[in-house]
Amino acid sequence: MPTELSELIMPNISNIAVKTITGEDKMLSDYAGNVLLCVNVASYCGYTGQYSGLEALNKEYGAKGLKVLGFPCNDFGAQEPDSNEKIATFCETSYGVTFDMFDKVKVLGASKHPLYAELTTTTPAGDVKWNFEKFLVNKKGEVIGRYPSSATPASLAQTIEAELAK
């Protein structure tokens, strides 16, 4: 039984392919050496205001190596029914989002995106519960933290700072 955290096998997302919100293919390994905050987002959710906090983290820590990654999702209450183009416009005009946004994904069920299949093996393992659930990924692509929708982006700042300092 491992006794050190470094001995534990952590989920790793580096080899997963995604599509940007404009349709370009991208590998998450392109973000190697950065700390990532992956968030399933929705435009018509009670937590949608968290876009402001996510953008604030992006502005505060982006130059220091944090990459906020937004993954629109329509799995909860049909709160993200729009096209990628409309989502991108909404995020830019309503919240000034400049962080990377991606193609709409499924986070539940048999057609769950491979990214979320890997992210949800993180302790506590299990399905994403709602929009704006957050996953923190270290510079090696290892999933090191999972936070519920109710966790504000600002509440993650100290953890992000510590991870950036490593």
Q: Tell me what pLDDT residue 3 has.
A: 44
Which one from 38, 45, 73, 91 is the annotated catalytic residue?
Answer: 45
Cα–Cα nearest to 156, from 139, 138, 125, 135: 135
- 128 CB burial (10 A radius; 0-12, 13-18, 19+): buried
Active site includes 45?
yes
- SS3 for 46? coil
Q: Tell me what pLDDT residue 123 has.
A: 76
Q: Give DSSP secondary structure letters for 74-122.
A: -TTTT---S-HHHHHHHHHHHH---SEEB--B--SSTT--HHHHHHTTS
CATH code, 48: 3.40.30.10
Please list the ranges in the chain whose pLDDT falls under 50.
1-7
Tell me the C-alpha to C-alpha distance, in Å, between residue 140 and each of 36, 57, 152: 10, 20, 24
Q: Is residue 31 part of a domain?
A: yes
Question: What domain count does the chain have?
Answer: 1
Q: How many residues does the chain have?
A: 166
Q: Tell me what pLDDT residue 11 has.
A: 76
Residue type at 32 in one-letter notation: A
Q: Is residue 164 part of a domain?
A: no
> Which pTM does this prediction carry?
0.93
Q: Is residue 106 part of a domain?
A: yes
Q: Is residue 2 part of a domain?
A: no
Q: In terms of residue numbers, what domain contains 51?
A: 9-159
Q: Is residue 1 part of a domain?
A: no
Residue with structure tokens 């936070």? Answer: 147
Q: Is residue 151 part of a domain?
A: yes
Tell me the C-alpha to C-alpha distance, in Å, between residue 108 and each of 32, 73, 96, 111, 114: 26, 10, 28, 7, 11
